[in-house]
Amino acid sequence: MPITLTWSVIPDGTPIDATAEIVGESSDNSNLVTYLNVATELGPQNVWQDTIQSALDGWSNGPGITFVFEPNDDGVRLGPNPGVIGVRGDIRIGGHDVDGNVNVVAYSFFPNGGDIVINTADFFSTTLSRFRNVIAHEAGHAIGMGHVCPINQTKIMEPTISTSFDGPQFDDLLGAHRNYGDLNEDNGLFSNASDEGFAVDTTVNVNDLALDDDGDDDWFLLPTGTLS
C-alpha cells in the first residue's frame, strides 16, 4: 500500500548504540551534522539537506512512497523510538565512527526501525554523487529492500555503491512497486477510479504505474464518446 514517511536528522550528541554487529563500531554519539557541514561538496546544511531529500525522492518516481522532511528531532536515542509528527521523523539519520575509513560506508535498519547511520570516519560519502547514492541505498533498506545481485553497477541496491548512475534504477523501482504499489494505488476499486485527464480524441500518456501483484486491479476514469 502507498505510504508517507517523514525523515529527520538527529542532532549531534544523540546516542547511537553499536547494535549492527559490525566489528569495530564505536558507541560514539552522532556527529553527522558536523561531518556534513565541513564536507567540501555537501555543506552548508541547506545543500546536504536538499541532497537527502532528492535521494529519498528517487524512490517516489512511480512507487507509492512519499518522503516528507520533519524539521524537528528531539535527540532521543537512535533506534527504538517511532516517528512522531512535530517530534522526530519515521526515518532518522545520524552518524558516527562505524569501522574507520574502510569497508562499511553506512548501514540502516529494515522497517519498524528504518533509521540510517552514516560512517563519519569514512571519507567516501563526502561528495554529492556518492552521498546521494549512499542515502538512496540505505533508504531502500529502510523501506524493506534487500541487497540484489549481480554486482554490475546497474542497481542502487547492489551491496557495493556505484556512482555510474543516480538513484534507484528500474529493477529497484520494480521492487518498491511490489511492496507499495504506485501513487494511484487507491484506484483499486471502481468507486476510486483515477481521473488522469483523458479526453475524447486526445492522447494522454500515463507513466510509472504498476500492477504490483497477482490480485491488483487499477481503475481509470474515461470520458464518454468514441474511443479507438
Mean pLDDT taken over the chain: 90
Count CA atoms within 13 Å of residue 65 on its CB side.
28
Out of 4-8, 68-72, 103-107, 192-196, which region has the weakest mean confidence (pLDDT)?
A: 192-196
What is the side-by-side order of every strand in the sheet holding 3-9?
65-69, 3-9, 91-96, 116-119, 106-108
Mean pLDDT along residues 198-224: 79
pLDDT (tens digit per residue) in 33-75 = 999 999 878 889 999 999 999 999 999 988 999 999 999 999 9
Sequence-distant (≥ 6) Cβ neighbours of residue 110 within 8 angstroms: 141, 142, 144
Domains of the chain in start order, with CATH, are 3-179 (3.40.390.10), 184-228 (no CATH)
228 pLDDT higher than 60 = no
Q: What is the dihedral of CA 14, 20, 26, 31, to 10 degrees?
A: -30
Q: Which residue type is seen at 75?
A: G
pLDDT (tens digit per residue) in 71-91 = 999 999 998 889 999 999 999
Q: Dmax of the chain from CA atoms?
A: 68
pLDDT given for residue 226 in this prediction: 56
Q: Which residue type is seen at 116?
A: I
Q: Hey, is 135 helix, strand or coil? A: helix
101 pLDDT higher than 60 = yes
Out of 80-89, 154-163, 204-213, which region has the weakest mean confidence (pLDDT)?
A: 204-213
